[in-house]
């Protein structure tokens, strides 16, 4: 419940999301005989991002340390992404953070 913990969490989440962008989760697992053993339904990047990053933003939107980290972490994800939908989501989130920064400066 402090900014440092939130920032450490954002760093860990960004690493996980970076991996998700570069190695999407499998939804089907095949056994040694070639038969389908497990079929899962995975959350989309967008849904996971909203579930993980938005609550941290809500908690720390007035904290400059958290604001800067959110900008930095979304920037890292933007650099490693080629998906247009994900890019749009990340840019929208970043604009929301920047707007909060602008509001807090006035």
Round the average pLDDT of the chain to a whole number and report it. 90
User: Does 8 have pLDDT greater than 90?
Assistant: yes
Predicted pLDDT of residue 18: 94
Predicted pLDDT of residue 1: 67
| CA 11 – CA 31 distance, rounded (Å) | 35
Predicted pLDDT of residue 27: 75
Share of the chain above pLDDT 90, in %: 61
> pLDDT tens digits, residue range 42-74?
888 999 999 999 999 999 989 999 999 999 999
Exposure string for 6-20, b = 16+ CB within 10 A, e = fewer: bbeebeebbeebbeb
Q: Is 13 helix (H, G, I), strand (E, B) or coil?
A: helix
Task: Please indicate, yes or no, whether the overall pTM of this predicted structure exceeds 0.85.
Answer: no
């Amino acid at each position: 419940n402090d900014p440092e913990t939130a920032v450490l969490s954002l760093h860990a989440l960004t690493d996980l999301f970076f991996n998700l962008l570069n190695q999407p989760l499998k939804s089907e697992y095949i056994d040694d005989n070639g038969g389908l053993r497990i079929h899962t339904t995975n959350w989309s990047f967008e849904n996971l991002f909203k579930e993980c990053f938005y609550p941290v933003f809500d908690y720390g939107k007035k904290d400059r340390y958290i604001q800067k980290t959110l900008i930095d972490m979304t920037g890292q994800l933007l650099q490693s992404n080629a998906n247009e939908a994900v890019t749009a989501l990340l840019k929208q989130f970043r604009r929301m953070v920047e707007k909060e920064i602008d509001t807090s400066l006035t």
